[in-house]
Amino acid sequence: MENLQSLLHGFTIAVTVPHLTLMVIGVLLGILVGVLPGLGAPNGVSLLLPLTFGMQPVSAIILLSSMYWGALFGGSVTSILFNIPGEPSSVATTFDGYPMARDGRPTTALATAFGSAAFGALVGVILITFLASWVAQVALAFGPPEYFAVYFLAFASFVGMGGAAPIKTVVALAIGFAIAAIGIDTVSGSVRLTMGIDELVKGVSFVVAVMGLFGIGELLIAVEEEFQARAVSSRVDWKEVFRALGRLPQHGVALLRSAAIGCWMGITPGGPTAASFMSYGIAKRFSRNGARFGTGEAEGIVAPETADHAAGTSALLPMLSLGIPGSATAAVMMGGLMIWGLNPGPMLFVDQKDFVWGLIASMYVGNIVAVALVLLTVPVFAALMRIPFAVIAPLIVIICVVGAYSVSNSYLDVVLMLGFGVVGYLFKKLHYPLAPLVLAIVIGDKAEDAFRQAMLMSKGSLGIFFANRLVTTLVLAGMALLLLPLALQIVRLLRKPDEAAGEKVRII
Amino acid sequence: MISRRALEIAAAALTGIFGVVVVVSSIDNGIGWSSAGVDAGTFPFLTGIIIVLGSLYNMGQGAMGRGTLAMVRIAVTPSELRRLAGLFVPAAIFVAVIPLVGMYLASAGYVFAVLALPRRQSVLRALVIAAATPLALYVVFERMFQVSLPHGALAAAFGY
């Protein structure tokens, strides 16, 4: 109850004209950086940071967090329309969002994405409201073995999807891990796998990989198939926006499950990217329409988007209560907190009640503002789909090139991106799965670090992964997900004679 | 014309070579267990081994014409190859000239060449799009987000 009272007090701080204006500005800028690949929420927030030094801490955090919401929404736009994820966490949205948009339903795809994203964010904020003080204690129990177990779980749930040729999946996965290892090793400090190229010391950014694999690779597949963007109805179809939103409750189970996954991954800092992949993988396995995933299923958009936003929102929880940022953006914001003279951590809730609850209240309002603004801009983005492919193709190439360059102002990244484009085309053509490759590039490093730190703690004994209830549960759940496809296969084999008999009866 | 078999073998060879490179270069970092814990090269070494073994398997499958795509004999037809080159070659030239003339000139030239030369668009429209592209890049990146794009050796020669 005390939390609710504080929240009401927070609303009186957040819902004022200057703060609402800040939210609108933040969200619009956020959508812009979200839409531009290469520029992401962390870049945007860092660029805005100097502007906030003269502001009240509450106003500053409202501006920055609104930008974060805007970027989370904006990232989905390019994933759906051009198959270029504007943010790493929206990679999983491309799997079904892009096919649906290409199928002539961009409005539906965007509205579905925004609707489920808003739901995920809402669940995340509600969770923060009620658990803010309690979660601090749970998250304190997280050490390297637990982190590794969380990553392992995310990985296993994704591999559990199956589908592609198993050995090709394994090769794709291992290549991803190797790419993630390029550069400075954070545990020992030694330089790995640079093959004598000094510029590779900074590592290969997954943004570069993703833009090549998905952006350029997909473009090559598209020209090969002589793809022509289908004329999308030129009317602004507002009805379709609401119809798509109205259909969301049909995916109730997926919404709730994805929100739960998202919140879990946000608090235990697995992050939005791992959350969206994991949610997509699980949805594919358990959905009735699982087999049609990847061809433009609404549920394939709902699952990653809900989890992405639930995780993005709840990632602020460990930042505020523990001083552990759950995502790159949260890390930048935490830097801001310190510059404004606030110390993130449990004491923040005691000393700076106005700040904390003002921020939490602004999350409710800010997300509503973000949904409204982003829905208003749907027709603008959907109109982009009507530009002839001959014009769009070179523009996508330029966006990918500029995006790859701006990650770290390196020309080598541009060349690498083009190389990844060829790999993406080749892999797609020969049915090597791209998703495990990307996931391994994104979290491979962190998983390896967590594993090695755990090994240091236990002096090389794997027993540390079964040392307490939390980590044991996580590891066992991961193994169960890994073995699930195998188990299902065996069950199917055992059942086969019966099923065949049943089939005959039905035919008769 | 490229057969699917050739493409499978080529892809497996590519991943296999990458795997060998990973294995060789990670041995330099040390593999196994030392006083500092798991050595830096251990993880990449293992992934490299997995890549090599997997690639060999995939190459075998491809060569014998088995696997998920066994029904497809032809991977890329000549006309498809022409269209692929039509997209990729200009893009590669665009990337290659960036260090020389800078992002702005290169992107304008690239857009104009791709749109006007195959007569997909009228010359006027191609010109407009070619001019608008670097302008938009400049406003968004250089001005709004203060990300400096490469200006190229040519601009440097003129003192920018």
Query: For residue A120, what pLDDT is reported?
Result: 92
Q: Give how far B158 is from chain A: nearest CA, Å.
A: 21
Q: What is the pLDDT of residue A306?
A: 93
A332: amino acid identity, one letter = V
Q: Which residue has the higher pLDDT, A89 or A22?
A: A22
List A residues 185-204 in contact with B (Cβ-Cβ < 8 A). Answer: 185, 187-188, 190, 192-195
Q: What is the mean pLDDT of residues A403-412?
A: 84
For residue B153, the model assigns a pLDDT of 77
Best of B18, B84, B95 to disrupt the A interface (most A CBs within 10 Å) is: B95
Helix or strand (DSSP H, E) at B129: helix B123-137
Average pLDDT, chain A: 79
pLDDT for residue B14:
93
Q: Quick one: how far is CA A407 from the chain centroid?
A: 18
Which residues in chain B touch residue A36, judged by CB atoms under 8 angstroms apart?
A: 140
**Contact A47/B at CB under 8 A:** yes
CA atoms within 13 A on the CB side of A28: 7
- pLDDT band for position A231 (50/70/90)? very low
* Alpha carbon of residue A169 to chain centroid: 21
Average pLDDT rounded to a whole number, residues A373-402 = 78
**pLDDT score at A405:** 87
Residues of B in contact with A425 (CB under 8 A): 84
Rounded CA-CA distance A187/A132 in Å is 32
Which of A65, A89, A112 lies closest to A313 in space, CA to CA?
Answer: A65
Segment A407-435 mean pLDDT: 87
Amino acid sitting at position A396: I
Higher confidence at residue A463 or residue A38?
A463
Do residues A76 and A113 make contact, with C-beta atoms less than 8 angstroms apart? Answer: yes
CB contact A391 to B (< 8 Å): yes
- Per-residue pLDDT of chain B (160 residues), as tens digits, is 788 888 899 999 999 999 999 999 888 877 777 777 777 888 889 899 999 999 999 898 888 877 656 566 777 888 888 888 888 999 999 999 999 888 899 999 999 888 887 766 788 888 888 899 999 888 877 877 777 888 877 777 776 5
For the stretch A311-333, pLDDT in tens is: 888 888 777 776 666 666 776 77
Concatenated DSSP letters of B134-159: HHHHIIIIIIIS-PPPP-HHHHHHTT
Q: Please, which pLDDT band fits residue A457 given cuts at 50, 70 and 90? A: confident
Is B44 within 8 Å of A192 when comparing Cβ atoms?
yes
Q: What ipTM was assigned to the predicted interfaces of this complex?
A: 0.90
Of A398-407, A414-423, B147-156, which one has max mean pLDDT? A414-423
Minimum mean pLDDT among A369-373, A436-440, A465-469: which range?
A436-440
- Supply angle C-alpha A458, A464, A467, rounded to 5: 130
pTM: 0.73
Query: Can you read off the two tokens belonging to residue A38?
Result: 């290469």
**B138 at A interface, C-beta within 8 A:** no
Mean pLDDT computed over A498-507: 39
| CB within 8 Å: B11 and A430 | yes
Is the CB of residue A422 less than 8 Å from the CB of residue A214?
no
Question: How far B96 CA lies from chain A's nearest CA (Å)?
Answer: 8
CB A391 within 8 A of CB A382: no
Is B65 an interface residue toward A (CB < 8 Å)? no
Torsional class of A302: left (φ above 0), alpha (ψ -120 to 50), beta (otherwise): alpha
Q: Mind listing the pLDDT tens digit for each residue in A239-291?
A: 888 888 888 888 888 899 999 999 888 876 667 778 888 888 888 888 887 78
Interface touch B98/A426, C-beta < 8 Å: no
User: Taken in order A355, A356, A360, A366, is the CA torsion positive or negative?
Assistant: positive
- Residue in chain B closest to A175 (alpha carbons) equals B51
Q: Min CA distance, B72 vs chain A (Å)?
A: 10
CB of A451 closer than 8 Å to CB of A187: no
Question: Which residue on chain A is closest to B49 by alpha carbon?
Answer: A174
Would the CB atoms of A427 and B11 count as touching at under 8 Å? Answer: yes
Nearest residue in chain A measured CA to CA from B6 = A430
Mutate to test the interface with A, among B28, B145, B148, B149 (most CBs of A within 10 A): B145
B77 touches chain A (CB under 8 A): no
Q: Which residues on chain B are in Cβ contact (under 8 Å) with A188?
A: 36, 39-40
Locus of tokens 């014309």: B1
> What's the confidence (pLDDT) of residue A496?
59
Which chain A positions have a beta carbon within 8 Å of B88's beta carbon?
A: 220, 421-422
Residue A39: pLDDT band (50, 70, 90) is low
Does residue B135 sit at the A interface (CB-CB below 8 Å)?
no
DSSP-assigned letter for residue B29: T
- Indicate if the alpha-carbon torsion angle A311, A313, A318, A324 is positive or negative: positive
In which band, very low, low, confident or very high, does the pLDDT at A54 lie, cut at 50, 70 and 90? confident
Q: Do A431 and B69 touch (CB under 8 A)?
A: yes
A 309-328: CB under 8 A from B = none
Instruction: Give how far B21 is from chain A: nearest CA, Å.
Output: 8
CB atoms within 10 A of CB B118: 11
Contacts of B14 in chain A (CB under 8 A): 423, 426
Among A170-179, A360-369, A374-383, A464-473, name the one with the lowest average pLDDT. A374-383
- A406/B149 CB distance under 8 A: yes
Question: Which of A51-60, A109-118, A291-300, A324-333 shows the lowest mean pLDDT across its residues?
Answer: A324-333
Residue B51 has what pLDDT?
Answer: 94
Round to whole Å and give the CA distance between A267 and A319. 9
pLDDT of res. A136 = 56
> Hey, is the C-beta of A239 within 8 angstroms of any chain B C-beta?
no
Q: Tell if the CB–CB gap between B94 and A415 is shorter than 8 Å.
A: no
pLDDT, residue A506, reads 33
Residue pair B49/A186 in contact by the 8 Å Cβ criterion: no
The residue in chain B having the minimum alpha-carbon distance to the alpha carbon of residue A219 is B87
* Shortest alpha-carbon distance between residue A228 and chain B (Å): 13
Please tell me the least confidently modeled range out of A3-17, A93-107, A364-378, B142-156: B142-156
pLDDT band at A503 (very low <50, low <70, confident <90, very high): very low
Question: Considering CB atoms only, which of A167, A195, A427 is closest to B54?
Answer: A167
Q: Is A401 on the interface with B (CB under 8 A)?
A: yes
- Are A393 and B69 inside 8 Å of each other by CB? no
Kindly state the tokens that stand for B130: 């070619």
In this complex, which of B37, B80, B150 lies closest to A455 when CB atoms are compared? B37
What is the predicted pLDDT for the residue at A270? 66
CB contact under 8 A, B98 and A414: yes
- pLDDT at residue A137, as a whole number: 61
Band of residue A345 on the pLDDT scale cut at 50, 70, 90:
low
- d(CA B28, nearest CA chain A) in Å: 9
